[in-house]
Copies of this chain bind each other. A is one copy, B any other.
Amino acid sequence: MRSKQYSLEDYVTGISAGDRVMLGRAITLVESAKTEHTALAEQVLAALPKPTNTLRIAITGAPGVGKSTFIEAFGMWLIQQGEKVAVLAIDPSSAVSGGSILGDKTRMEQLSVSEHAFIRPSPAGDSLGGVARKTREAILLTEAAGYRIVLVETVGVGQSEIAARRMCDLFMLLLLPGAGDELQGIKRGIVEMADLLVVNKADGERKQLAAMAQAHYINATHLLPSNSSGWSAKVLTASALEREGFAEIWAQIMAYQQSTINNGFWFENRRNQAHYWLHETLMDGMKTAFYNHPDIQAMLPDLEEAVLSGKISPFAAARTLLEHLNFKQ
């Protein structure tokens, strides 16, 4: 294993110096299923600086909305403003489909060759929880490597967006122009999570449609219950193709940050997120240990069958298993 050849110091020195190859190797450690790899990754994380002036932006939208093109163009725009930008992804379907969002770097031609950008496809995994946890750790590693802005792309199907929300400071939803049917394919819950709605492809003949969609969404978001951040969602238009609208998007991101730092939400949210991931990881670790226990694996099939056939109650079966491992309810 190539990744085994490097010491804790190699990783810490490399990442602190912004070495993208070492950063990539550290994320590979995080993604590894081997305990010694993830343990080393944690030592690396513990030893690295933890900048707090970073900005984590979740970006989602239905297929066809032009997420990759938007991220490429917006990412390049941010780099022109002097920023370093990392692009990560959460796509729990990547293990099944074999493909992965961001897997094909040619989708982001300029960004993928910029020395100020770092692009990493979604980690594979058999559960959203596992995939998301790896992305969350990758955020910390990229921040330590000097990427102040992290864009987290998701696939727009619901659960990944909730996970992205739980690790980002701000949630951006990309929309298609064309009023009336623009809610199609986007769950209401995702619209409600958005701090910033951006009608993309506002170019050429679609400019007017985009303005109509913008007006529609301004109305729609006014009806939404107010967010715990105290921020009301803003609706903007942009053209990734013509690279228009980015300055206004950035201004709103800054306004969001200023507003939520002022009212205390910004850091409170980050603390809540850390609390969430701690207890989520605990639950997941317990679950894995429990179901992998040889005694449980031996006992569970018969008990499950007895429950499903109605011979014993689910509660009696659960108690049998828990008591076997000396758990008390």
Contacts and interface: CB of A to CB of B under 8 A. Distances in A.
Interface residues of A, number: 50
Interface in A286-319: 286-290, 292, 303-304, 307-308, 310, 312-319
A67 B282 CA distance: 40
Contacts of A276: 314
A275 B307 contact: yes
Interface stretch (A38-46, A115-123, A170-178, A243-251): A38-46
Given A308-B275, A329-B35, A315 B281 contact: yes
Given A289-B322, A307-B275, A315 B283 contact: no
A274 B280 CA distance: 25
A278 interface: yes
A131 to B, nearest CB: 14
A266 interface: no
A277 B284 CA distance: 18
Considering residues A140, A285, A310, which has the most beta carbons from chain B within 10 angstroms of its beta carbon?
A285
A310 B307 CA distance: 44
Contacts of A278: 303-304, 307, 314, 317-318
Contacts of A280: 314
Considering residues A284, A289, A304, which has the most beta carbons from chain B within 10 angstroms of its beta carbon?
A289
A283 B287 contact: yes
A56 to B, nearest CB: 14
B289 A328 contact: yes
Contact of A282 (B46, B285, B318): B318
A52 interface: yes
A46 B306 CA distance: 11
Contact of A274 (B137, B188, B275, B310): B310
Interface of A: 35, 38-39, 42, 45-46, 50, 52, 133, 136-137, 140, 188, 270-271, 274-278, 280-290, 292, 303-304, 307-308, 310, 312-319, 321-322, 327-329
Given A38-B319, A288-B329, 5 more contacts: A42-B313, A133-B315, A136-B314, A281-B315, A292-B328
Listed from nearest, the 3 A-B pairs whose CB atoms lie closest are: A281-B318, A277-B314, A278-B314
26 contacts: A38-B315, A42-B313, A46-B316, A50-B310, A137-B313, A270-B310, A274-B307, A275-B314, A278-B304, A278-B307, A278-B314, A281-B315, A281-B318, A282-B318, A282-B321, A282-B322, A283-B283, A284-B329, A285-B319, A285-B329, A286-B290, A286-B322, A286-B327, A289-B322, A289-B327, A289-B329
